[in-house]
Structure 1
Amino acid sequence: MTHADHTASLPLPARAGERAQPRARRRRVVVGARQFVILSWIAPVLLVLVWEVLARTGFVTPQVLPAPSKVLRTAFKLATTGSLLEDLGTSLLRAAAGFVLGGTIAFALGILVGFSRLAEALVDRSVQMVRAIPFLALLPLVIVWFGVGEGQKIFLVALGVAFPIYINTTLGIRQVDPKLMELGRVQGLSTRQMIIRIILPGALPSILTGVRYSLATAWLALVVAETIGAQAGIGFLAMDAREFLRTDVVVLTIVIYALIGVAADSVARLLERRLLAWHPNFGGAGR
């Protein structure tokens, strides 16, 4: 080997080390993310432990707030009889149907209003007026329209889901960086290519934020819907338990709503990480 060959081979370990650095950095990011997940559960676990201690020592009576262990036993009994799973499945189906219906309509309207000032003039004011009406004020009219069957419940969920998705879709389209639009024009992109490659990806963070808000709103609307004329569902289970002063069942339904909310938000955040892997604020590179 000549001196020149030996000199040319010297930078290779440095290059290998440079390639290894991003991998080590990604491992540190993953470890840090796991630690933050663990930290996020410390407060809920401590709250449950304090709640259990207060209930067992008599500071909180079972009629006011039963112990978590009693709520867990109640959940096990209802699950073994099958009633809890049936009610949970019914509520999930209602929420899913309302979410798909309301989300699809809201997304289409949001895109239309986001791209067209004429559509904004025709649609947006009416949407904002309906958005300002509380669910409870609409409930008597919705019962007249749909009765107390499944249609009433799905309609209320769809109505609650629609507004966050509509607003965030419109906002996301309007907030796309004008410099990116100018770059697309310089590159000679057609209108269709601009929409697919620049506008919709640029609006996606805002759209997914609307999805996260709408998932929470869906359960709020479903709780209101299931308090009227329901024969199954988590809301029906809570109302039936209230009639018989079963606070353990009422607390169980509240815990179920909380767990479903956490699970739905986790799915939405996973969707953000997958669809926005290119974005520095959502992908692994920026965290």
Structure 2
Amino acid sequence: MNVPRFPSATLGLDPGTASRRNDDEAARAADPRALIDLPTREARRGSARQWSLLRSRALRVGVPLALIVLWQLASSLHVVAPETLPPPTVIIDALKELIADGELQSAIGVSLVRAATGLAIGGGIGLFAGLFAGLWRVGEEIVDAPLQMLRTIPFIALIPLFITWFGIGEGAKVAVILAATIFPMYLNTYAGVRGVDPKLLEAAHVFGLSSRQIALRIILPTALPSILVGVRYSSAVALLALVVAEQINAQNGIGYILVNANQNQRADIIIAGILVYAALGIATDLIMRALEHVALPWRPRFELA
């Protein structure tokens, strides 16, 4: 039976071994039935990964650039009136103006503190509520029904109530973000805890693990991917709620810049502020992806193409 022989470099071998290897290769070349060395599976996977990475980076960069070019062309050809949608060059000039004044840098810092505060409080409440309802039946009976009812209420509809309770200061703004981030965190945590494979729990009981050990060693690690999805979703919702919250008599922040631009009919600054919100959302998503990669190194990555 022919045994496949895999090629290797002859560098570093003694002359006798290299000569025998060359003779073997010549014999296989003369024999039409000799086996042909094919690329290994790892080599094919490596080239496929490189092509996938190159394609992903090209699409991520190329598509936004193509949209910006089309936007500029539409403005240059007067397909869209500059007063309605200023071209990208004007938006860049507006951003330079805000950066030169130092207004944008301070506004971003204030807005991020608001979003982070609301996310920390609301996400924390949602996390503990999800664990309480998922781990204990009495917790589900106490927490799940009220939260399922409250999550159907848009957080925007609660703004008048928050203004009545907290006034028009920072309290109302943080409360809006808090109310928006509780429910995504709760739902993902609850689903992750309740989605643990029953066979794992049965095996834990067979090995004599206590309820605390089961929760810490099986349920929480298994539910961690879903919990991190909740953190990622809640962080995105926090930025959406920030846009709304900063319309409540804001004296600083990105929303304050947009309000002033609206009063002065500065469409370029309004669009520049919207793009800053979008950039913050992309940065937040990248941070959450990195957090998932660090916290879940064991999770396999699967792609159809």
On whether the aligned pair clears a TM of 0.5, the verdict is: yes
CA distance in 2, matches of 1:219, 1:212: 11
Distance 1:63 1:244 in 2: 13
Give the alignment's Cα RMSD to 1 decimal: 2.3
* Structure-to-structure mapping, 1:94-105, within 5 angstroms: 94-105=114-125
Identify the residue that residue 6 of structure 1 maps to in structure 2: none
Structure 1 window deviating more from structure 2 (162-171 vs 25-34): it is 25-34
Task: Specify which of 220, 242, 250 is matched with residue 230 of structure 1.
Answer: 250
CA displacement 1:89-127 (0-9 Å, x = unmatched): 110110011111111111011100001121111111111
Deviation at 1:29, TM superposition (A): 3.3
Point out which structure has higher relative CO (alpha carbons under 8 A, 6+ apart). Answer: 1
Cα distance in 1 for partners of 2:164, 2:298 equals 48
Give the Cα–Cα distance (whole angstroms) in 1 for the partners of residues 118 and 218 of structure 2. Answer: 30
Tell me the distance in 1 between the aligned counterparts of 2:79 and 2:260: 27
Counterpart CA distance in 2 for 1:203 and 1:22 is: 32
- Stretch of structure 1 that moved more, 68-77 or 186-195: 186-195
Structure 1, gaps ≥5 residues long: 1-9, 14-19
Identify if the C-alpha distance between structure 1 residues 66 and 168 changes in structure 2 by more than 3 Å, giving closer, same or farther.
Answer: same
Does the 8 Å CA contact 2:156/2:176 hold for their aligned counterparts?
A: no
Displacement of 1:226 in angstroms is 0.8
Selected match of 1:167 from 187, 203, 217: 187
Q: 2:104 aligns with which of 52, 75, 84?
A: 84
Q: Structure 1 residues 86-95 or 191-200, which shifts more?
A: 191-200
Q: Is the 8 A contact 2:173 2:248 kept in 1?
A: no
Aligned to 1:275: 295
Which residue pairs with 2:219 in the alignment? 199
Matched, 1:47 2:67: yes
Q: Which amino acid aligns with 2:249?
A: G
How many angstroms apart in 1 are the aligned matches of 2:54 and 2:286? 14
The reply to whether residue 251 of structure 1 matches residue 233 of structure 2 is: no
> For residue 71 of structure 1, what is the aligned residue in structure 2?
91
Aligned to 2:81: 61
Asked if 1:153 is matched to 2:173, the reply is yes
Distance 2:47 2:208 in 1: 40
Distance 1:23 1:271 in 2: 30
Distance 1:119 1:27 in 2: 51
State the one-letter code of the partner of 1:272. Answer: E
Q: In structure 1, how many angstroms separate the alpha carbons of the residues matched to 2:249 and 2:59?
A: 42
Separation in structure 2 between the aligned mates of residue 163 and residue 27 of structure 1, nearest angstrom: 42
Go from structure 1 to structure 2 and tell me whether the alpha carbon gap of 1:64 and 1:169 turns closer, same or farther (over 3 Å shift): same
State the partner residue of 2:202: 182
Q: Work out the CA distance in 1 between the residues paired with 2:260 and 2:171.
A: 21
Give the aligned partner of residue 109 of structure 1.
129
**1:215: how far off?**
1.4
- Count of aligned pairs between the two proteins: 269
Aligned partners of 1:176 and 1:202 also within 8 Å: yes
The Cα offsets for residues 242-285 of structure 1, whole Å up to 9 and x where unpaired, read as: 11110001101111111111111111112112211112247xx9
Counterpart residue type for residue 202 of structure 2: E
Distance 1:212 1:77, change over 3 A: same
Matched, 1:220 2:244: no
* Corresponding letter in the other structure for 1:229: N
Map of 1:239 onto structure 2: 259
Cα distance change of structure 1 residues 73 and 27 upon mapping to structure 2, 3 Å threshold = same
Closer/same/farther in 2, CA of residues 251 and 198 from structure 1, 3 Å limit:
same
Q: What is the identity percentage for the equivalent residue pairs of Structure 1 and Structure 2?
A: 42
Partner of 1:176: helix, strand, or coil? coil
Q: Deviations over 1:27-71 (max 9, x none)?
A: 863663353133123222111110011112221122100111111
- When you count helix as a share of all residues, which structure comes out higher? 1
- Which residue number corresponds to residue 119 of structure 1? 139
Q: 2:162 aligns with which of 118, 121, 142?
A: 142
Give a deviation string over 1:5-45, Cα, whole Å, max 9, x none: xxxxx99x8xxxxxx97699568636633531331232221
Task: Give the residue type in structure 1 aligned to 2:292.
Answer: E
CA contact 1:280–1:286 (8 Å) conserved in 2: no
Of 41-50 and 89-98, more deviation after overlay is shown by 41-50
Structure 2 partner of 1:7: none
Contact kept in structure 1, 2:94 and 2:268, CA below 8 Å = yes
Distance change (3 Å), C-alpha of 1:245 and 1:126? same
SS in 2 for 1:41: helix
Letter in 1 for 2:212: R
